[in-house]
Amino acid sequence: MVGDSLGMVVQGQRTTVPVTMDDMIYHTRNVARGCSTALLMADMPFASYATIEQGVRNAARLMQEGGAHMVKLEGGAFLTDLVRQLSRNGIPVCAHLGLLPQSVHKLGGYKVQGREEAAARQMIDEALALQEAGADIALVECIPAELAGRLTEKLDVPLIGIGAGPNCDAQVLVSYDMLGLTPGRRPKFSKNFLIGQDSLQAAVQAYVHAVKSGEFPGPEHCIA
């Protein structure tokens, strides 16, 4: 996954908001050159899908110019019409729920989402609506592990978690956090897999093994 988190870990931005379509196409295209077997997902950046027409056009650019196989959208049920139209045009979609980094100024910071039961139920309803609209995968960020488990049970599509505990179908981490390259305080749910390894490749392999074995994320990485 080529995430717009590159704005913070590569470009040195304070948020993901300044990342542009051209930025995403450039980075996705570079990853695509070395990607031969994995499905390649790319983020639609801030305000690049404010309308259905704009969203379809920019998603097509990520696929045609960037080489992406799937696009990821941040937001809830209000995106169902766009997801439906993307699906009709043969564009696979990952729906991103929970903490939405592109909405950090609206949310008032990087805060855990879905702690209250009403908010949890709303997230489940929105995930189901996006699945019904045609989303092929869902991703949840920074939500309680219990809620992630409920979502996994409810959804037919795979659920990817980041900061959502072990009860998901798959896990993802920002590579700079996984390799201990992020300066300063890192998220509670991250782990430096480079410690004790002699290469970046070995660190990535350690991460894969830890996820598949169920070792990561552990209780210390979960959000209550």
**Alpha carbon of residue 33 to chain centroid:** 21
In angstroms, how far is the first alpha carbon of the chain from the final one?
26
Q: How far is CA 138 from CA 42, 98, 123, 163, 206, in A?
A: 14, 10, 11, 14, 25
Q: Could you tell me how far CA 67 lies from the centroid of its own chain?
A: 18
The one-letter code for the residue type at 84 is R
Catalytic-labelled residue, pool 53, 126, 132, 141: 141
| Cα dihedral 136, 69, 173, 148 in deg (nearest 10) | 0
For residue 93, give the nearest of 29, 157, 154 by alpha carbon: 157
**Residue 65 known to be catalytic:** no
Q: Which residues are catalytic?
A: 141
